[in-house]
Each structure stands twice: as C-alpha cells, then as structure tokens.
C-alpha cells in the first residue's frame, strides 16, 4: 500500500470516529420532541378594524387536501411594524407546511382562514418572504411588471381627454402587466376579494377610472364618457353631475394604478356609516401624463412595488438534546 492510500484510509477512519463520537455526545431527539423556532418580521400592516385582528396560518397538504393550523393572532399599532415574533413549532407541522398565510378575521373561533387574505410566504430552505405576489395569492413578479398607456385626443379640439392602458398600433394589447384575478379566483378563495383600480389627479382633484380584475378586459366604469378601447381606462368628456362638457385636458395629470386588497368595513363611530379598514395601500404604478402627450405614442408609468409592505420568515431547527 502506498503512503497516499494509507493516509487516505486513516483520514476516512478519523472522520467516521468523529461522527460516531458526535452522535454519542448529541442524542437525537424523538420526532415529537424535535422543535423548530419560527421567526417572523412584518412591516407595513395598518391597524385593523376594531372588531378584527390578523391571524397567521400554517398551510400544509395531506392527501392532496389543504389543511390549516392557526399559529397566532395579533394586532398592530399605527406604525405598522412588528419585530421579533417567535414561535415554537412542532417538527410535524414544519414537515407538512408549505406556506405561511396571514388573513384578517372578525370571528373569535375559526378552523380555516377567511377570504380576507393579506400576505403569503412560501417556505424554501427554511426561509421565506411575505408578499401579496406569492403563488398562493396574486402570483406575479411585482418588480418585473410594467405599465404602458396611450392617450386620446378630443374630436373637436387639441385637448387630450382620454388615457387607456394599451400598447400597440392597429392591433392593441393590454398595457398592464398584472395577474388576471378573475381567473385566479376560480382556483382559490383567497383572491376573490382582490381587485385593481386606476385614477388620475388633475389640479388637485381625483378622478376615478373604475376597478377591474383583468388587464385584458374593460374596467367597471365609463362615468365620464364612452370608451375608446376594451381595456381599462377612461375618456374624460362629460361632467357626471351636470351631464355637461367636462372641459378637462388631462396633460400633466398624475396617474395611479392600485392593487386593492380585501378590506373589512366597520361602523366605529356608531353613526350607521361603515368605514373601510384596509391592511395596507398598494400603489403599483405611478407617473404623469406628459405635457406634450400625443395619441399613438406609448408612455410608461413607474413600478412602485419596492415600497410595498412585506416581511421575512426564518426557521431554526433543533434536532439534538
């Protein structure tokens, strides 16, 4: 036997002895005793309705049936920041869990999450990130999404009176890169209350353009005039209060596209009017209509998702005594 082979065998033997010694020194815990520490940090959540709270759930699969374990319920103060939330989880829960879900709840005792979803985080390699874009919710890449819009000119003047989220020339395509929530909601209860909206602000006044669930279909409002495209947008031609000419040129207007999360309503003042308590405000795209905007030219809004609320998850596993 050559010297290299001899030392190789000696090294292998030493490694085996070290592993055996380590196992003797560190007794393996039984599956029931094995624990994992779940660390959660959340930011951006707003104070829920007075009758509501946030609930965190472990979502896991068993024989292809989704099951849930409630981990904790909590509220937040006005600054929306939670730090160093820690929980001891049994290894059995961890092995089956694939997603952490946060919902808003108003009932004291529930066995599964409501459709008032907030965040989700898919567990991978003992870490995760809470987001509205998780596969369990809206299922799209927030940071990579873009927005394209075109404007419409009035028939009898040079005023720019319309904005539409489209791209293309003779053949038009959706200008918004957003998930089709109407399709997602057919597969999951947790996206049924989500929707999008758009609006402009001109001379300090807000003009809502309606809500929608698909960037490929019209929104639910033509309050200010007949549509130019079968996509989200608006032509600002008439005053809905008087029926007369709105006389509005939207060049220079600020433009916003929102993601609207499920929102609980509650009459906190006892005046019979329910106020809305959204978990957060999500401005997905924002920008401005150029002062020299012209029809047929594509313009883009800024992706604002880097300001979105979210959170992180870390799991530390303990297998030995």
Mean pLDDT score of the chain: 87
Summary count for the chain: helices (H), strands (E) = 3, 21
pLDDT level of residue 275 (50, 70, 90 thresholds): very high
Indicate the SS3 state at residue 16.
helix
Please say if the pLDDT value at position 139 is more than 90: yes
pLDDT above 70 coverage of the chain, percent: 83
What's the pLDDT tens digit per position in 191-209? 999 999 999 999 999 999 9
The predicted model gives 254-262 an average pLDDT of: 98
| pLDDT number for residue 295 | 96
In this predicted structure, which of 13-22, 102-111, 163-172 has the lowest mean pLDDT?
13-22
| pLDDT number for residue 90 | 73
Q: What is the pTM of this model?
A: 0.85
What's the pLDDT tens digit per position in 199-240? 999 999 999 999 999 999 999 999 999 999 999 999 999 999
The predicted model gives 136-141 an average pLDDT of: 94
| pLDDT number for residue 2 | 55
* Cα–Cα distance, 305 to 311 (Å, whole number): 14
Could you tell me the two tokens for 265?
């309503």
- CA distances in angstroms from 307 to 125, 143, 280, listed in the order given: 26, 11, 11
- CA distances in angstroms from 51 to 23, 164, 275, listed in the order given: 52, 39, 12
Which residue's structure tokens are 């989220």? 165
* Cα–Cα distance, 287 to 294 (Å, whole number): 16
* Cα–Cα distance, 27 to 195 (Å, whole number): 52
């Amino acid at each position: 036997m050559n010297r290299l082979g001899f030392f190789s065998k000696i090294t292998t033997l030493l490694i085996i002895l070290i592993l055996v010694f380590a196992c003797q020194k560190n007794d393996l815990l039984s599956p029931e005793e094995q624990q994992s520490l779940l660390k959660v940090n959340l930011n951006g959540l707003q104070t829920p309705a007075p009758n509501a709270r946030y609930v965190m759930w472990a979502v896991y699969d068993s024989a292809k049936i989704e099951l849930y374990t409630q981990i904790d319920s909590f509220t937040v103060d006005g600054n929306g920041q939670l730090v160093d939330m820690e929980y001891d989880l049994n290894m059995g829960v961890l092995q089956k869990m694939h997603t952490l879900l946060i919902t808003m709840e108003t009932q004291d005792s529930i066995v599964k999450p409501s459709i008032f979803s907030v965040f989700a985080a898919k567990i991978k390699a003992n870490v995760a990130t809470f987001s509205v874009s998780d596969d369990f919710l809206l299922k799209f890449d927030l940071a990579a999404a873009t927005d394209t819009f075109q404007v419409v000119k009035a028939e009898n003047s040079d005023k720019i009176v319309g904005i539409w989220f489209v791209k293309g020339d003779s053949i038009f395509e959706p200008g918004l890169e957003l998930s089709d929530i109407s399709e997602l909601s057919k597969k999951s209860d947790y996206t049924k209350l989500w929707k999008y909206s758009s609006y402009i602000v001109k001379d300090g006044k807000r003009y809502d353009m309606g809500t929608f669930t698909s960037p490929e279909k019209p929104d639910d409002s033509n309050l200010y005039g007949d549509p130019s495209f079968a996509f989200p947008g608006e032509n600002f031609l008439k005053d809905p209060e008087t029926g007369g000419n709105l006389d509005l040129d939207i060049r220079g207007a600020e433009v916003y596209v929102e993601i609207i999360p499920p929102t609980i309503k509650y009459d906190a003042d006892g005046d019979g009017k329910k106020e809305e308590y959204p978990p957060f405000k999500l401005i997905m795209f924002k920008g401005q209509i150029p002062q020299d905007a012209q029809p047929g030219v594509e313009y883009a809004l800024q992706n604002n998702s880097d300001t979105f609320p979210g959170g992180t998850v870390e799991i530390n596993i303990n297998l030995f005594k």
